[in-house]
């Protein structure tokens, strides 16, 4: 005796069957074809009835199963089947629930790229008056209508289910070879686009199958491939409830928890993307999953698994989808390359586990390891970076390392990379660009930046950069004569070195250099904080020019130059972790107050030469919420050759103030 009978003609029907039986509800799933029976597997609490049923046979089945609840989850276009189920329920007095897929009518824009038809027959008649190849995705049942086109054997490409009876039926209609595409959907936008382009299709014929049937992905693909969509409108809408409403109703009816326990997610690295490039453990995880999530390109090679898919990389959208489908207990997320290499896995783990979803990570082959293997080099000494959707000091990495690997992304990415390398004097390095790694169109191009300029590359690729003249260390106490001086003031080498040391910088620090002068302190700090950013703030135009020249000379692309007077010029900058004040233009108090407002824990170093600045610094550091205040006076002398003698020439004494912001006191006491 069954508590529930589901007519499982759709993906939702199969998943509802598995979900409810997994909750201990005695369930019978009815599927019309042998192929359908392969999708719904019998298990504890779940039996499967195979074969089409007439109205009379349905009524008899309902009586035999003691008048259970009947859930109609058939396809929106299976009108006759739904009528028979309803009639059988009325005859046996069984409760009937119709599950209605949400419509994507908002995606339809009637016009140059979309044509509506009332039926498949009407669509075929319309296409008879057109030219160009046609990709038909409406299934095999009504494919015979397209045989009325005089040249259908050359024009029509039919995408149908991969079952022996369907193939035999289509071949009898005259569809053979590449004109018969046997696959199970739903398909991603990328897959649909690739198929339209492969066959050179000018037309896409589709039913309005809703989100679950991949309708939106088909329309988007048609527009991307430059094809026109012929849309078979839905039959008059029957009364029913949405998938979400059905879930809520069944949860109440059978006392199932709103969020079924035991949900788990596998975050799997798919390597370059092809099945052959994945580990067996990763592929098995996708095979066993109830649904697969990931950005479109990641889903391309997983379409054959016949799983519900969501095309997104956004954790919020993923969680929303999962919450709407509590029947999905086993979730797989496809992530490019390896989950530990510039992957979205880190934030997904946090998001999923906050929802009580058990999470497991499976590694894949990273693009760095793959490209190095193709170049036949080890990657143990390669500096790994990425400028794909993120900011990184790539120039600093190339400056300091023999080999640097980076992920690239965006239009003209290689062009921009080569231009930047040339700008910072790295035109002698060798760049190896890998495109479509592991795919049939894989290409690896090698050359110097100047040789690669003007060439066309794929929008998503990777590069390995070799610098035989790499510096390999962090320069400190750079000699004064190494800088372009001009007429701008410059903090001398020994003072500069000590001041930067007092700041206690980290690799990722965000630093203000206020009154940057020639930019010598900015350069020294940028070399120390190679993964951070230095904001060089200066009001003098000649000094601004010198800062630009010196940052270029020392290849410190992580220096950002801002023209203006502090504190006004600091207002729009991101909050600093550290600040060096070499010149305040009489605004020291206001500058310090703004720094504390932006970050109460900011660490500050002030250089003072005049007694007036010394007095103001002492007063402000005493009255503002700073702790660990230290004052050091430094006076240096350098030898100067005079004839046969070396005479010591004294420099002006400099006061170096160091202070740490105190987070417990943020209000100024001045």
pLDDT of 667 above 60:
no
Tokens of 567: 């504190």
Per-residue model confidence as pLDDT tens digits over 543-557: 999 999 999 999 999
Helices of type H across 9-129 = 11-22, 34-39, 55-64, 79-92, 120-127
Cα–Cα dist 17/411, whole Å: 46
Rounded to the nearest 5°, which phi and psi values hold at 162?
A: -90, 75
Beta bridge partners of 605: 580, 658
Residue bearing tokens 């007694």: 611
The pLDDT value recorded for residue 458 is 83
The pLDDT value recorded for residue 279 is 92
Please report the sign of the dihedral spanned by the C-alpha atoms of residue 525, residue 529, residue 531, residue 537.
negative
Domains of the chain: 4-102+239-243 (3.40.50.720), 105-232 (3.40.50), 257-365 (3.40.1010.10), 368-466 (3.30.950.10), 480-661 (3.40.50.150)
Per-residue model confidence as pLDDT tens digits over 402-445: 999 999 877 678 999 999 999 999 999 999 999 988 877 889 99
Q: Name the residue among 52, 37, 45 with its Cα closest to residue 18.
A: 45
Q: With cut-offs at 50, 70 and 90, classify the pLDDT of residue 159.
A: very high
Q: Residue 348: which residues within 8 A CB-CB, separation 6 or more?
A: 265, 267, 315, 318, 333, 359
Residues 513 and 522: beta-carbon distance below 8 Å: yes
pLDDT of 185 above 80:
no
Q: Residue 129: which residues within 8 A CB-CB, separation 6 or more?
A: none
Residues 75 and 32: beta-carbon distance below 8 Å: no
User: Who has greater pLDDT, 244 or 7?
Assistant: 7
Per-residue model confidence as pLDDT tens digits over 351-401: 888 887 889 999 999 999 999 999 999 999 999 998 887 788 999 999 999
Per-residue model confidence as pLDDT tens digits over 13-51: 877 888 888 788 999 999 887 655 566 778 889 999 988
User: Who has greater pLDDT, 206 or 184?
Assistant: 206
At 430, is the secondary structure helix, strand, or coil? strand
pLDDT of 330 above 80:
yes
CA angle 403, 405, 406 (to 5 degrees): 145
The pLDDT value recorded for residue 36 is 59
Omega of the bond leading into 567 within 30 degrees of 0 (cis): yes
Cα–Cα dist 206/218, whole Å: 8
The pLDDT value recorded for residue 652 is 87
Helices of type H across 128-182 = 152-155, 164-172
Cα–Cα dist 393/555, whole Å: 10
Omega of the bond leading into 186 within 30 degrees of 0 (cis): yes
Q: What ranges make up the beta strands (E) of 162-225?
A: 180-182, 201-207
Residues 291 and 310: beta-carbon distance below 8 Å: yes
Ramachandran class of 197: left when φ > 0, alpha when ψ lies in -120 to 50, beta otherwise? alpha
CA angle 325, 330, 336 (to 5 degrees): 100
Rounded to the nearest 5°, which phi and psi values hold at 51?
A: 115, 155
Q: Residue 442: which residues within 8 A CB-CB, separation 6 or more?
A: 434, 435, 436
Tokens of 10: 């759709």
Choice among 64-73, 144-153, 191-200, 236-245 with the minimum mean pLDDT: 236-245
Helices of type H across 424-492 = 449-452
């Amino acid at each position: 005796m069954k508590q529930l009978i589901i007519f499982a003609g759709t993906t939702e029907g199969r998943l509802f069957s598995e979900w409810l039986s997994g909750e201990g509800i005695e369930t019978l799933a009815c599927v019309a074809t042998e192929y359908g029976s392969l999708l719904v597997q019998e298990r504890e609490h779940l039996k499967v009835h195979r074969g089409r049923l007439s109205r009379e046979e349905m009524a008899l089945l309902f009586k035999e199963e003691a008048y259970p609840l009947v859930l109609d989850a058939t396809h929106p276009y299976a009108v006759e089947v739904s009528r028979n189920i309803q009639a059988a329920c009325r005859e046996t007095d069984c409760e009937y629930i119709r599950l209605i897929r949400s419509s994507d009518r908002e995606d339809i824009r009637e016009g140059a790229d979309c044509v509506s038809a009332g039926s498949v027959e009407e669509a075929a008649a319309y296409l008879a008056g057109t030219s160009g190849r046609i990709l038909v995705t409406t299934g095999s049942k009504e494919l015979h209508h397209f045989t009325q086109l005089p040249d259908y054997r050359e024009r029509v490409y039919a995408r149908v289910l991969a079952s022996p009876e369907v193939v035999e039926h289509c071949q009898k209609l005259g569809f053979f070879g590449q004109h018969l595409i046997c696959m199970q959907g739903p398909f991603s936008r990328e897959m649909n686009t690739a198929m339209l382009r492969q066959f050179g299709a000018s037309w896409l014929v589709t039913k309005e199958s809703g989100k679950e049937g991949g309708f939106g992905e088909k329309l988007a693909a048609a527009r991307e491939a430059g094809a026109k969509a012929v849309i078979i409108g839905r039959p008059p809408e029957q009364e029913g409830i949405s998938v979400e409403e059905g879930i809520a109703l069944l949860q109440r009816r059978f006392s199932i928890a709103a969020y079924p326990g035991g949900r788990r997610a596998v975050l799997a690295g798919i390597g370059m993307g092809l099945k052959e490039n994945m580990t067996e453990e990763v592929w098995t995880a996708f095979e066993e999953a109830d649904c697969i999530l990931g950005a479109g390109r990641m889903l391309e090679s997983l379409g054959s698994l016949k799983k519900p898919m969501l095309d997104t990389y956004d954790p919020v959208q993923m969680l929303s989808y999962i919450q709407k489908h509590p029947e999905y207990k086993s979730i797989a997320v496809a992530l490019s390359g390896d989950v530990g290499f510039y992957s979205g896995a880190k934030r997904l783990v946090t998001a999923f586990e906050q929802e009580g979803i058990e999470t497991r990570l499976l590694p894949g082959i990273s693009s760095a390891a793959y490209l190095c293997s193709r170049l036949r080099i080890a990657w143990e000494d390669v500096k790994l970076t990425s400028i794909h959707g993120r900011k990184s000091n790539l120039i600093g990495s190339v400056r300091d390392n023999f080999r640097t690997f980076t992920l690239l992304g965006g239009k003209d990415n290689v062009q921009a990379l080569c231009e930047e390398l040339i700008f910072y004097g790295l035109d002698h390095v060798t760049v190896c660009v890998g495109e479509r790694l592991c795919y049939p169109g894989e290409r690896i191009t090698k050359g110097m930046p100047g040789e690669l300029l003007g060439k066309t590359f794929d929008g998503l690729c990777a590069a390995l950069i070799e610098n035989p003249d790499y510096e390999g260390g962090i320069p400190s106490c750079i000699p004064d004569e190494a800088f372009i001086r001009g007429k701008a003031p410059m903090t001398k080498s020994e003072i500069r070195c000590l001041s930067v040391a007092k700041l206690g910088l980290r690799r990722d620090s965000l630093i203000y250099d206020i009154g940057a002068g020639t930019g010598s302190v900015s350069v020294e700090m940028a070399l120390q904080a190679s993964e951070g950013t230095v904001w060089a703030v200066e009001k003098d135009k000649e000094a601004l020019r010198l800062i630009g020249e010196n940052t270029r000379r020392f290849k410190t692309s992580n220096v950002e130059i801002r023209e203006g007077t502090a504190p006004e010029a600091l207002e729009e900058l991101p909050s600093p972790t550290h600040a060096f004040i070499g010149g305040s233009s009489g605004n020291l108090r206001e500058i310090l107050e703004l720094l504390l407002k932006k970050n109460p824990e900011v660490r500050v170093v002030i250089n003072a030469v005049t007694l007036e600045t010394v007095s103001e610094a002492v007063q402000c550091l005493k009255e503002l919420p700073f702790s660990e205040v230290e004052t050091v006076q430094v006076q240096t002398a350098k030898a100067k050759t005079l004839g046969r003698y070396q005479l010591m020439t004294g420099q002006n004494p400099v006061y170096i103030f160091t202070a740490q912001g105190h987070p417990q006191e943020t209000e100024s006491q001045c």
